[in-house]
A and B are shown apart, each in its own frame.
Chain A
């Protein structure tokens, strides 16, 4: 798939993580370039799509942004089932949110698509003075569990596009080191990518 040519890839991406970790803020920063200090709580789930033009492929991400509270857990499988990628977000100023992220990792490893590209996002990296979760700890955890890790800030935009692009880059290359085996991708070569977005 790394050949020149333009393959079109549709991929479903799901955001999981504790309430208030900044899942919606990450997506809004990525899709609309916006940030709201007080982002309305997500009830149920929200949906976005974004097309990314890479050098070797056009990747269209269908993004499900889920409600973070534990009580909504029963709705989550519908969104991660069949997903080719996931971003599990936690808040670096909140230890519990990191614990919750680990639970999501476990759940995806048990229930999710085995070839899923999974990213761990330590969000709110701009709040360094309130940090409770060390970057090294999260990085080590991510390595052990075959995730890629970035600290992000939806507020300052640091690493936000990067994490989505990194996911997109890992998608077409069906065999990343940690995830041998094929990706399940929907190829729709006939479809012309309608990328009118800022990130293309």
Chain B
């Protein structure tokens, strides 16, 4: 989490003047208080060999060249060599550049530049109906990370500001439990204003399909994603799909948090970061792919387990399956884009078709309708943010 070359893009972590890390509580290299000190060497914490350090150095230089000063060459590079960019991102963005690159690939940097002063206004001058809910969750978001541990410390204040600002920015969505983990993750890599615009970019769809449906009343997009995921499991792992049906496993029992927080909740941090690198560039598809990869890794065990053992197994995967260098290549092997489109159409058709509507009064939300054109701010004198970044489509 070293500083990158912009003042705004510098990790807020570096600014923290608070009397935080007590020497008696060792933290890992990401700032989480270590839970178990016993054996299990943290591979990433091991001292790197000279060769590894040199390789890292070359990698960072390549990335810096690709980005240019403060991101100035990025768009040009992406246009010329999209496959190179995709491949490098899949290998992991260097941690010292992560905050800046996340803002470039999510389109949030453009939003920030186009909307000067907006964030400040949302934080300082507006009030939100969600304030009490946000406060109740603040100290319960990444409680084991030193940045968020100090009561009313910089971490908690930044998190509160970002969540409050968003709840004002989109009063229909407000604050929903789960957003804190997304915002909290971002705050470990960028300033609160940058984090806010990245949340906006994701939920309003600056580059990929908007994700605000994850948090709207009825959680319509969660329902859609779970429908799609359940069908993908049946398609790729029919035996497991059948077993889930027999044991009455609903995908919501394990998967809703995957989507609601994009894996930022209760997964090992090194894996979370790698997933987020890919998620911001390639879109929500990676969440499906990682979910399928987890199922594939544990397939032979899962098909044998009865309900009461199956649910815990699906919420607590063995540590060795959560190694990003093993799990991600497996995840990429699932080519899901086309299936996801088909399943989305099927889901939309079902929700519109009264025959499939028995007993359900929930309105179907066509997530294509939630595109940029309906993007709105509800705050009177806040300018409507605009998007310029063209849509990417990496199949």
Contact = CB atoms under 8 A, between A and B. Distances in A.
Nearest to B144: A40
Interface residues of B, number: 33
A178 interface: no
Interface in A47-104: 47, 49, 60, 62, 67-69, 71-72, 74-75, 78
Interface stretch (B19-27, B250-258, B340-348, B385-393): B250-258
B177 A71 contact: yes
A43 B256 contact: yes
Contacts of A19: 133, 136-137, 177
Given A19-B133, A47-B253, A69 B140 contact: no
B218 interface: yes
Contacts of A60: 308
A88 B180 CA distance: 25
B308 A49 contact: yes
A36 interface: yes
B252 to A, nearest CB: 6
Contacts of B218: 74
Most buried by B among A20, A44, A78: A44
Contacts of B257: 43-44
B219 A43 contact: no
A186 to B, nearest CB: 11
B141 interface: yes
Name which of A46, A60, A68, A75 has the most chain B CB atoms within 10 A of its CB: A75
A47 B311 CA distance: 7
B312 A47 contact: yes
Contact of A72 (B140, B177, B315): B177
Contacts of B362: 74
B331 interface: no
Interface bin, chain A = 20 to 34
Given A46-B315, A71-B219, A72-B219, A40 B143 contact: yes
Nearest to B258: A44
A43 B219 CA distance: 13
Name the prevailing secondary structure of the A interface residues. loop
A77 to B, nearest CB: 11
A45 interface: yes
A38 B311 contact: no
Given A44-B257, A45-B253, A39 B177 contact: no
A183 B176 CA distance: 36
A67 B177 CA distance: 8
B217 interface: yes
Contacts of A74: 217-219, 223, 362
B260 interface: yes
A175 interface: no
Nearest to A97: B136
A36 B219 contact: no
A50 to B, nearest CB: 11
Nearest to A94: B136
Contact of B256 (A41, A44, A49): A44
A56 to B, nearest CB: 22
B219 A20 contact: no
Contacts of A78: 250, 252-253
Contacts of A69: 133, 176-177
A75 B260 CA distance: 13
Contacts of B308: 49, 60, 62
A43 B181 CA distance: 10
B215 interface: yes
Nearest to B142: A40
Interface in B217-270: 217-219, 223, 250, 252-253, 256-257, 260-261, 265-266
Interface string A122-143: 0000000000000000000000
B253 A40 contact: no
Contacts of B213: none
A62 B308 CA distance: 7
Contacts of A47: 253, 311-312, 315
Contact of B219 (A38, A45, A75): A75
B335 to A, nearest CB: 27
A45 B308 CA distance: 15
Contacts of A72: 177, 219
Contacts of B253: 45, 47, 78
A99 to B, nearest CB: 14
Interface in B55-84: none
Given A40-B141, A47-B312, A71-B176, A20 B215 contact: no
Contact of B137 (A20, A36, A44, A46): A20
Given A67-B177, A74-B362, A41 B311 contact: no
Contacts of A44: 252, 256-257, 260
A49 B310 CA distance: 12
A140 B250 CA distance: 38
A175 to B, nearest CB: 27
A28 to B, nearest CB: 13
5 contacts: A39-B140, A41-B177, A41-B178, A43-B257, A71-B217
Interface of A: 19-20, 36, 38-47, 49, 60, 62, 67-69, 71-72, 74-75, 78
Closest 3 A/B residue pairs (Cβ): A44-B256, A38-B143, A20-B136
Given A20-B136, A71-B176, 10 more contacts: A20-B137, A41-B137, A41-B177, A41-B180, A43-B177, A44-B256, A71-B219, A72-B177, A74-B217, A78-B252
